[in-house]
Amino acid sequence: MSRREARESAFAFLYQLDFRKEPISEQKELYLEHHPLEEGDLAYFNEITDGVSSQKDALDEEYAKYLKDWKLSRLPKVDVVLLRIAVYEMLHVEDIPVSVSINEAVVLAKRYGSEESKSYINAVLGKVGSNVNK
- For the ranges 16-20, 66-70, 86-90, the maximum mean pLDDT occurs at 86-90
68 three-class SS: coil
Report yes or no: 9 and 45 within 8 Å, Cβ to Cβ. yes
Per-residue confidence band for 1, with pLDDT thresholds at 50, 70 and 90 = low
pLDDT at 41 (0 to 100): 92
- pTM beyond cutoff 0.75: yes
Please give the CATH architecture assigned to the domain spanning 3-130.
Orthogonal Bundle (1.10)
Average pLDDT, the chain: 92
Residue ranges of domains in the chain: 3-130
